[in-house]
Structure 1
Amino acid sequence: MPKPPPASLSDRTIALSFCAGGFRGWLGVVTDSTTCAIVGGGPAGMMLGLILARCGVDVTVLEKHADFLRDFRGDTVHPSTMRLLDELGLLQKFDQIPYSKVEKGDFTVDGQAITMVDFRRLRQPHPYVAMVPQWDFLDLLADAGKSEPHFTLRMQTEVTGLLRDGDRITGVRYESPDGPGELRADLTVGCDGRWSVTRRESGLSVREYPVPFDVWWLRVPRTNDGDYSLIPRTAPGKALIMIPRRGYFQIAYLIPKGSDTGLRSRGLDRFKSELAELIPESDVDSLNSWDDVKFLDVRLNRLHTWHRDGLLCIGDAAHAMSPAGGVGVNVAIQDAVAASRLLHAPLREHRLTETNLAAVQRQRTVPTVVTQGFQRIVHRQVLAPAMAGKEIIPPPALRNLLHRLPRLATVPGYIIGTGVRPEHVPTIARRR
């Protein structure tokens, strides 16, 4: 199919292109164009779309769902992300959303709480993790985008494939309530997560790392809203993280990799009994069926190359993160901000090259590798032994060291809360 002609082509060429587009429309395929097509309306896609639009780049974000209301997604907004919201002029509206604050991560040994992760000492304007339903966060970004003339959000629009002109990616094919369509673009950005259609269709190769566990997501009521801390609970062969929310705990229950079907076959009552042993203060009887327990197939991987001519992958589409540390959303947002800073000028001036895309990967490779390396250490040293039936508690030497030097808990707090290389919004996109 012909590419949309640049403005410098002759009127005759432009007329032929419009005739071809009209013929495709007559066949039932709607054809449109934009400068940047963003696949996926998650945190990375929405953040990238908003910033590029503020920089004067025509952006279309394609989201396959009708709304953002999906539970058990990454509901953490980290200190560095709140600083970005401040730079965008959105922090005041963000603060109007009810949320709880997590200032530390404790591990209880012999009835004594040991702070393993501390955000309170971070040199950030907001030294805590805000627990916010992701749909509220995405609605905030979407509402901000509506006021930008260069921003378009298409809901219920599922990307099904990529458009090509030789080796160059020239846009996407999609399905919407109005039928099939094509969106041509100077750049297509895959922000569609670990099961990315854009990554699969592009043929980019990925390296997989072993992961010893999957996750069951569930929620149980809580009665005390006073103390907000990420609370791990372990027993031989069992481990979970209790994420405090207003009125309930969001539970990440770790199970051995590939064991979902077998564990469910034992029955819900047995699971509730095991859960009650780990969190006796919560009402596990609120679980009425296995439908209340959502399964997450955990992956940890990274593309060798994040781009090809006309295409860039960021976030989980480029490097799927483990839930360990809860850093996936923050890393994806930092990717988006780096991409907007490096690409807005060449996109606006229609001079984008693959060299520009390679610069985004160079900028974000080190923080990605370091963060995934941190997660692999946690997998190997903590979670794999836990899944093998061993009881996991911090070694006495580490407990004594943290007791004498509590500031050491700021190191994992920095990796989780700030990130290895925090980014900043381009000046042109900032608002007071």
Structure 2
Amino acid sequence: MTERTTCAVVGGGPAGMMLGLILARCGVDVTVFEKHADFLRDFRGDTVHPSTLTLLDELGLFEQFDALPHSRLERVELPIGDTVVTPVDFSRLPVAHPYIAMAPQWDFLNLLAKAGENEPHFTLRMSTEVTGLLKDGSTVIGVRYRGPDGDGELRADLTVACDGRSSLLRAAAGLTPRSYPVPFDVWWFRLPRADEADYSLLPRTMPGRAIIMIPRVGYFQIAYLIPKGADAQLRARGLDSLRAELSVLAPECDAASIDDWDDVKLLNVQLNELPRWYGDGLLCIGDAAHAMSPAGGVGVNLAIQDAVAAAGLLWRPLRDGTVGEADLAAVQRRRGLQTRAVQFVQRMIHRVLLKPVLAGRDITAPNPAIRLGAAVLRRFPAIAGIPARVVGLGLRPEHVPEPARR
């Protein structure tokens, strides 16, 4: 069975769903493929940054999002010696929603999917896995897929790979990312929590260990940082060792709830970027173009910014049937600098904060440089708005094109 559309989007994550919805509202026929039957999975990121909240406003979806269960993070506080400083203060941002919303990603995706149902140009195919590219010579002309009704082909003027850091389409097109060293991997698991438990985007640390706690209803999703390649060695020490460390790092949680190593998943952390995000008829965005570190929790929102930029640059040539490599190159030019800047900051965080912690150093002990930094923040609190802008809005916030606004 062979069908046709204008744009095939592979991957129903935040980037794919946002791109599909905006293009459809601009009058472009879009088909989004999602290989799973639903969105109920343990995603790595539940942070919805101020930049994304602004996009929801422009799409006319903020009120629906705001009605979903979520928490708000207005500032990041850091204990330094016997005092607490605020290095990041989102409440200083000049936007309508100056905070980070912590909402399960499946709720966010369901919201976009429901909005897409109202668009005649939008098609979402769940339980449909893309298995390869259709090519005419070196030109990508669509995808092969396997769905509930069997195998099929969908021809498209443009195929967009939003299928993550292990992108099938990227590999099929012969595109190879340039990788940077990362000093850690992540154990991913749940711990029960009380509703009043506190949380922070900054990792909680002890010498040799660090965790990031993502609040969800009734539990924390834990990202437990371990030295790169140390998974097998640390598991061999037994669950009691893990529980003992969690009792120090997260005393408000019940570490005894972890009763099997199968509850602890290993995430291989990558940091990379494609030198070229596109080929003839194919564009990669989000993790398919640049895998991000979890440092700073910016990966999801950076992918969404890619999608909005791509939609803004491509909806006219797609609708007019004139889209070409020059249009795809424009997407990379617009988003590439932002990506590399964020990855540079993440590499600095790896080097200055996470690598020393995982090597056993106690970074909570204030040294003269840290004390000076804390004193400057107390004297000039407005400085906390600078990193808030970088994390919360990015260097070049994108906006929804006018035809897609509601």
TM-score bin, normalised by smaller chain:
over 0.9
Secondary structure of the structure 1 residue equivalent to 2:269: coil
Q: In the alignment, what sits opposite 1:31?
A: 2
Comparing 413-422 and 230-239, the one that deviates more: 230-239
Indicate conservation of the 8 Å contact 1:36/1:57, yes or no.
Answer: yes
How far off its partner does 1:231 sit? Answer: 4.8
Q: Which shows bigger deviation, 356-365 or 260-269? A: 260-269
Deviations 1:289-330 (A, max 9, x none): 223222211000000000011000000100100000000010
Is 1:75 matched with 2:46?
yes
Q: Distance in 2 between matches of 1:244 and 1:153?
A: 29
Which residue of structure 2 aligns with residue 409 of structure 1? 384
The TM-score with structure 1 as length reference comes to 0.90
**1:16 matched residue in structure 2:** none
Q: In the alignment, is residue 382 of structure 1 matched against residue 353 of structure 2?
A: yes
Contact 1:104-1:230 within 8 A present in 2 as well: no
The one-letter amino acid paired with 1:171 is G
Deviation at 1:283, TM superposition (A): 1.6
Q: Does residue 1:289 correspond to 2:264, yes or no?
A: no
- Equivalents in 2 of 1:248, 1:156: separation in Å? 28
Q: 395, 401, 405: which one pairs with 1:426?
A: 401
Gaps of 5+ in 1: 1-29
Secondary structure of 2:164's counterpart equals coil
The alignment partner of 2:296 has SS state of: helix
- 1:210 aligned residue: 181
Does the Cα contact within 8 Å between 1:159 and 1:174 map onto a contact in 2?
yes
Contact 2:11 2:32 in 1 (8 A): yes
1:223 aligns with 2:198: no
Contact kept in structure 2, 1:40 and 1:64, CA below 8 Å: yes
- Contact residue 101 and residue 130 of structure 1 kept, 8 A: yes
2:271 is the counterpart of 1:305: no
More off after superposition, 364-373 vs 248-257: 248-257
Which residue of structure 2 aligns with residue 333 of structure 1?
A: 304
CA distance in 1, matches of 2:24, 2:249: 48
Identify if the C-alpha distance between structure 1 residues 57 and 72 changes in structure 2 by more than 3 Å, giving closer, same or farther: closer
Contact 2:199 2:213 in 1 (8 A): no
Q: Retained in 1: the 8 A contact 2:208–2:361?
A: yes
Runs of 4+ in 1 over 6 A off after TM superposition: none
Matches within 5 A, 1:257-406: 257-393=228-364, 395-406=370-381
What is the CA-CA distance between 1:232 and the residue it aligns to? 2.6
Match of 2:143 in 1: 172
Partners of 1:422 and 1:285 in 2: how far apart?
43
- 1:264 and 1:112 map into 2 onto residues whose CA distance is 36
| SS at 2:203 equivalent | strand
Most deviating of 231-240 and 54-63: 231-240
SS at match of 1:170: strand
Local SS of the residue matching 2:220 = strand
CA–CA distance in structure 1, aligned partners of residues 18 and 49 of structure 2? 14
Equivalenced residues, count = 402
Paired residue type of 1:359 = A
Larger mean Cα displacement after TM superposition, 306-315 or 248-257: 248-257
Residue 53 of structure 1 is matched in structure 2 by 24
Structure 1 vs Structure 2: percent identity of aligned residues? 64
In structure 2, what residue type is equivalent to 1:50? L
Gaps of 5+ in 2: none
Q: TM-score, normalised by structure 2?
A: 0.96
Structure 1 residues 231 and 250, CA gap change in structure 2 (3 angstroms): farther
Q: Distance in 2 between matches of 1:265 and 1:34?
A: 51
Mapped contact 2:19–2:311 kept (Cα < 8 A): yes
Name 1:21's counterpart in structure 2. none
Q: CA deviation at 1:217?
A: 1.9
CA contact (8 A) 1:103 1:229 kept: no
Helix, strand or coil at the partner of 2:72: strand
Q: Write the letter of the residue equivalent to 2:400.
A: V
Is the partner of 2:85 in helix, strand or coil?
strand
Q: CA deviation at 1:334?
A: 0.4
Separation in structure 1 between the aligned mates of residue 235 and residue 371 of structure 2, nearest angstrom: 36
Quote the offset at 1:112 in angstroms.
Answer: 3.0
Which residue is 1:146 aligned to?
117
